[in-house]
Chain A
Amino acid sequence: MILRIFHSRLTILLSGTLLVLASCSKTANTSLVSTPVTSVQIQFYNYVGNVPLQRNVGAYTNTAGEQYTVSKLLYYVSNFQLTDANGKTITLPQRYFLVDDATDSTKKITLDSVPAGQYTAVKWVIGVDSIRNVSGAQAGALAPENGMFWTWNSGYIMAKMEGNSPQSTTALKDFQFHIGGFKQPYNALKVITVTFPSTLTVSPDNQAKINIKADADKWFHTPNTVSIAQSSVIMAAGANAMAVAENYQQMFSVLSIAN
């Protein structure tokens, strides 16, 4: 009986509160309410130089003149921001994506909660920010079973490339670049901004799409020439990882956009 009375009072209280809240948000945030939010798709296309990456099949030559094939290419992208036509930065809800060349579905990512508008550039972190490196067990793209987390010295592998090369110094003639590190002086976190060739219009009427090229060959050059013969295996934070991270920061460019 008491419960029942309580319940009915609760209902009144609840609906009252909701009303108050609704009216508040209406008056206080007129501008926000009137701007619809929608999504933007980013599609990653992995390349080596000017040809699409063919894992295990394609034979490539790097700047150091070494032949190589690629068996694995994975990278984290996170913390997306958009720049609008007025130069204002819009920070999107924190999301983490792991792009794995072996899984096509991971190459198409969807950014949610994007306010409709005109945008000129997109910016993101290549890797996983330091907070998530120290915050315990994570889920989804950040789950440790994805093989992108160092167990003996906690931290995410921000990006990973593996393959084979006759110039490798390992018994199996392979190379493994596991690039990570979130603490100074070996913080391998990189931020990249790509500017659109023309203004990107985001509206609920059309699915805005950004097609991004990721050139894996960039891992080996500019600004640092990375030689497989000199460092066939990189598996810890340090100077070698930093050199590769500075290179792969340059690997992204816009292929096209669609409004």
Chain B
Amino acid sequence: MNRKAFYIIGIVCLVLLIAHACKKGSGGPDGSVSPQPFTLQLPPGFPAPVYDFSQNPLTKEGIALGRFMFYDYRLSKDSTVSCGFCHQQFAAFGHFDHALSHGVGGRQGNRSVPVIFNMLFQKEFMWDGGVNNLEIQPLTPLTDPNEMGVDLKVLIGKMQSDPQYRKMFRDAYGTEEITSQRMFRAITQFVATMVSGNSKYDSIVNHVGGAAFTAEEQAGYKIYQQKCATCHKEPLFTDLSYRSNGLPYLKQLNDVGRMKITGNTADYLKFKVPTLRNIIKSSPYMHDGRFFDIYQVFDFYDHGVEVTASTDPLVKNGIPLTDAEKRQLYFFLNTLTDYTLIQSTALSEVKIN
């Protein structure tokens, strides 16, 4: 009986395999070819992706579509703001020199633009973790009146009337049909390729080509390990937890942090620990972008922490740093800049006609 079952399963697998192979080779009814699979190279020592690619396998055409949409300012209500407007490649996909996020009609949000590389390793998004899946993350900036401000139905209609989008959707999915699910999945594909794990630090820990820290970088790494590494945990340089770091509350912004999501007072003023990767390229800092210089951050931890009931025990007494230590830390943080990310031609802005 068992043997018979095995035999049947074996044949079914074989048929599926062959059918799959046939599908790959054949063209569509209109002569189009199926999208080509894309294999994403993950850095050594990184965790397995959290994002489930099974329903949304990476393809060259899917990524290309996502990239086009990412840089298409016409997706916003008044055709002024694209995803890439706030998520700038040279700033490691954060917003250079802007404390708070910008949007259509000159509007402003009340948090700073987070960097969006290594997103496929995260299970929750936004400073407060309110978004629970990478695929639906674009929904918030697209529809938020302070960001891109579109009505999703209007946007889908607009895209459907664009021959170039129809072609790109056909290339990516086999048919011209434009749905929000396909849009979000394509953007997800592109964002998933924003992987950062090729900094000088990475070369050193992976023993690539004799790379080595300078004496000051080495000293900075030691300080990092002693004073920062619990929250900004390797290899992502964040443990992805929500913590209150003692940053003084600003009445004007009245941002309660994760408490807004959970309704739990224990989460008052808690925000997701941001990554330190590419930190020197992605100022300003903190959830409200109040610090424009990394030394202000060092000074804040040294003597600016304001303790509340939810302040993390690790920073309750501050993190004392001498001037020499701050300098060494600065040199170490520089080794976390990944030039392959910020200079990648596969991630750079594309021309929108």
Contacts and interface: CB of A to CB of B under 8 A. Distances in A.
Interface string A135-162: 1111100011100010111110000000
A153 B180 contact: no
Contact of B180 (A133, A145, A154): A145
Interface stretch (A12-20, A77-85, A117-125, A163-171): A12-20
A15 to B, nearest CB: 11
Contacts of B153: 145
A258 interface: no
A21 B5 CA distance: 11
Given A144-B152, A145-B153, A20 B8 contact: yes
A19 B135 CA distance: 42
Given A13-B14, A145-B152, A139 B144 contact: no
Given A144-B139, A145-B156, A154 B12 contact: no
A21 B261 contact: no
Q: Is the interface of B mostly helix, strand, loop or mixed?
A: helix
B134 interface: yes
A134 interface: yes
Given A10-B18, A137-B180, A139-B179, A154 B11 contact: no
B8 A154 contact: no
Interface in A93-152: 133-139, 143-145, 149, 151-152
Interface stretch (B80-88, B125-133, B317-325): B125-133
Interface residues of A, number: 28
Contacts of B151: 145
Interface residues of B, number: 35
Contacts of A155: 132
Interface string B169-188: 00000000001110111001
B15 A136 contact: no
B152 A154 contact: no
A154 B262 CA distance: 12
Contacts of A136: 52, 55-56, 133-136, 184-185, 188
Given A20-B11, A152-B130, A137 B185 contact: yes
B156 A154 contact: no
B122 interface: no
Nearest to A239: B263
Nearest to B51: A136
B143 interface: yes
Given A143-B181, A144-B139, A154 B263 contact: no
Contacts of B8: 20-21, 24
A82 B131 CA distance: 35
B140 interface: yes
Interface in A1-41: 10, 13-14, 16-17, 20-21, 24
A197 B335 CA distance: 74
B135 A17 contact: no
Contacts of A154: 130-133, 136
Contacts of B139: 137, 144, 149, 151
Contacts of A134: 132-133
